Amino acid sequence: MKLSVIIVNHNRCDLLKLALNSLIKASNGIDFEVVIVDNASTDNSVEMLTVDFPEIRVIANSVDEGIAKASNRGIEMSKGEYILLVNADIICGKETLGKVLEFMDVHDDANGLGVRMLSPQGTFLTESNRGLTKQWIAFIKLIGFEKNLPKSRLTNRNHKAWVEEFQTSEIDILNDAFMLIRRSVFNEIGLFDERFVGYGHNVDLSYRMRLAGFKNYYYPKTYIINFKSNSQPKFSWQYIKDFYGAMLIFAAKYLFKLPEIKIEGIQLYPPQYEVEQ
């Protein structure tokens, strides 16, 4: 099987239906499967999947296990050569899946891939090629970690080497809304760290990929629409615990002893970009 699409869902019934319809249209001619891991939704998501998408494999958790653990469940059940992890609140372009698989097949050095993301209003989302939200950027700078993520362009945004919206480039961090990864990567470095319950799992996995010598790419020649919905109120205790707790876990894991990135011929800093116009 060529592609396994993994979606973790929690109370995103209507958006999930839109996402699945767009993914199925985009999968025309591709040998693929979809695995949905539902984290104890109470909005009839599982019932909708049973009625409208009976061909899709569904893992219905009785409790919310968090994104990292639920993603691991889906990966373990999947069979594809490539694993695509997408959020339940995206709409996939009709040519997106074919284009990203073609890029990965042609570029043997590409092990992870993200795409250009647009808001529902059509605005380019800068985390497409940075991989990090504003809060994570501030945190990375606060702990002095930005020098270890040179390809995330966290310092001088106007540097002449920076690549922008329509340029293919190597990046450090894959945004969790759309992460296409070779199965062989998971076989070598393991699955998501399940301590990252709701946030930061993509940052940790992407950095582990870089440490192992794998390359991640930003591919802008196709797109997704990212609604960026969040069921947790940002001032709730659960959000604070999950979001800022992920940052503390990341700092404790890497801050005190930073391993070197083992990519032959590439200096850690300053960054060297591979750009395809």
pLDDT of residue 260: 53
259 pLDDT above the threshold of 80 = no
* Most confident of the following: 54-58, 153-157, 226-230: 54-58
Q: Are strands 110-118 and 57-61 parallel, antiparallel or unpaired?
A: unpaired
Please compute the mean of the pLDDT values over residues 100-114 and round it to a whole number. Answer: 98
- Whether omega for the bond prior to residue 259 falls within 30 degrees of 0, making it cis, is no
Q: Is pLDDT of 148 > 70?
A: yes
Those residues whose C-beta lies under 8 Å from the C-beta of residue 236, and which sit 6 or more positions away, are: none
Rounded Cα gap, residues 2 and 201, in angstroms: 24
**What residues contact 51, with CB distance under 8 A and at least 6 apart?**
none
Cα(73)–Cα(84) distance, rounded to whole angstroms? 14
Q: What proportion of the chain, given as a percentage, has pLDDT over 90?
A: 74
The answer to whether the CB of 131 falls within 8 A of the CB of 171 is yes
Average pLDDT for 126-140:
90
> Dihedrals φ, ψ of 193, to 5°?
-75, 115
Q: In this model, does residue 19 exceed pLDDT 50?
A: yes
Residue 124 per-residue DSSP state:
B
Question: Over the range 213-232, which residues count as b (16 or more CB within 10 Å of their CB) and which as e?
Answer: ebbbbbbbbbbbbbbeeeeb
The whole-number pLDDT of residue 153 equals: 73
Give phi and psi for 29, each to the nearest 5. 85, 0
CA 141 – CA 101 distance, rounded (Å) = 34
Split into its structural domains, the chain has a count of: 1
Give the CATH number of the domain where residue 111 resides. 3.90.550.10
Angle at 149 between CA 147 and CA 155, to 5 degrees: 60
pLDDT(163) > 90: no
Q: Distances in Å between the alpha carbon of 209 and those of 173, 174, 182, 214, 244?
A: 9, 10, 11, 5, 23
Over residues 3-13, the pLDDT tens digits come to 999 999 999 99
The total of other beta-carbon atoms located within 10 Å of residue 234's CB is 9
Minimal CA–CA distance to 75: which of 5, 178, 155? 5
Q: Which burial class, exposed, middle or buried, applies to 198 when counting CB atoms under 10 A from its CB (0-12, 13-18, 19+)?
A: buried
pLDDT of 239? 82
Domain residues for the domain of 93 are 3-276
In 10 A of CB 171, how many CB atoms? 27
Residue 209 pLDDT exceeds 90: yes
Compute and round to an integer the Cα radius of gyration of the chain: 18
Q: What is the residue-averaged pLDDT of the chain?
A: 89
User: At residue 160, does pLDDT exceed 80?
Assistant: no
Range of lowest pLDDT (29-33, 134-138, 174-178, 273-277): 273-277
